[in-house]
Amino acid sequence: MHSGGAVGGVGSQGPNPLSGERRAQAPHPLSPGTVLVLSGEDVRRLLLGEEHLLADVVRDAYLAHRDGETVLPHSSFLRLPLRSSERAIALPAYLGGRFQAMGIKWIASFPENPRRGLERASGIVILNSVVTGRPIALLEGSLVSVKRTAASAALAARLLLPLDSPAPLGLIGCGPVNLEVLSFLSVLVPEIESVIAFDTSIERAQQFGARCGALVPALPVSIAPRLVDVLEQASVVSIATTAARPHIFSLGARPPAVILHLSLRDLAPQVVLRCANLVDDVDHVCRAETSLQLVEQVTGDRAFIDGSLGEFLATGELRAPAKRRTTVFSPFGLGILDIAVGQVVFARALERGVGMLVPNFFPRNAI
């Protein structure tokens, strides 16, 4: 494959677009009409061991959003008739500032797929040139999605957890998202000292525990018999389930300090109202039947939300009363993060000669 220099994004050579330098998108080295296709294995290899880099990229994307340097339409949900648990989501986004990138993620979630021997989530990310609008890359999207989700969660945990205080990690939902969250937290949050996991399927939980042990051998891993055991024993809890409606109505007698509410529909309104609440984007997260939209419907306003992660990254301050023991981070999952991480993958693929080039992708018609 042609291995030209880095596109106007994150690369290991040349000016770093995350260093604060503002510039227009550099010409990418693909010949006109050529599209780069990257498989899941390509994406996996290009992002292996890059937790620190991805956390920095996601942080800068949040800060760009906070500064008004993004265009982020609401995600579009496609649900099949009489199949409420299955959906596909389109997330278009433009990320300006230091990135100068645009594109879309199209991702499907079919919870019955594991029974078919398939991953629950599958998707693609399309990157477009901001100069011509033409697609320049097609990437496997589920790995991009899970990486940016875990990086976002780790950023929030790093900011919210007390420094130098041992922190047991609780994982509710034993799937790929929480495994990736563990990977990021084990690197970015050294206070994590142990792992306790829960799933409605004990078999899945045991298999997950073995994978956790292989991923981070230094951390002891245990399986909780009850969900409330995780909430009462862990300092930070990541919730990543396929729940369509709230099923957690209490945090128990000893609630965690931080809850990473990644699946968005697990916490009942009364639980949310007893916590400090941090989100990625207020308008985005209060829709699509999330727990936060349910709270808004009950209270009639959004005063229960204490800030966004972009604001917190910039100022280090939340509006939450100090007496609240637990802070919940509820990220809707912004398309700008997929584009930012996708840009990293694209740039590295070009530098290293990874992927398949499809020449003459577009018709040759004259204007």
Q: What is the pLDDT of residue 247?
A: 97
From CA 256, how far away is CA 219, in angstroms rounded?
19
Residues of the chain with pLDDT under 70: 1-28, 319-324, 366-367
From CA 130, how far away is CA 335, in angstroms rounded?
16
Q: What is the pLDDT of residue 323?
A: 54
Q: How far is residue 69 from each of residues 65, 96, 152, 341, measured CA to CA in Å?
A: 6, 5, 19, 17
The domain locations on the chain are 161-330
CA 303 vs. chain centroid, Å, equals 25
pLDDT tens, residue by residue, 203-215:
999 999 999 999 9
pLDDT tens, residue by residue, 305-330:
999 999 999 988 776 555 568 999 99
Helix 141-160 and helix 40-47, axial crossing angle in degrees, nearest 10: 30
Half-sphere exposure of 68 (CA within 13 A, CB side): 0
From CA 71, how far away is CA 77, in angstroms rounded?
18
Q: What is the pLDDT of residue 23?
A: 32
Q: The whole model's pTM is what?
A: 0.89
Strand partners, 108: 88, 122
Topology (CATH level 3) of domain 161-330: Rossmann fold (3.40.50)
Q: Which helix (H) or strand (E) holds 113?
A: none
E-state strands within the chain: 35-38, 70-71, 76-80, 83-95, 101-109, 121-128, 135-140, 167-172, 192-198, 221-223, 236-239, 258-261, 276-279, 307-308, 327-330, 356-358
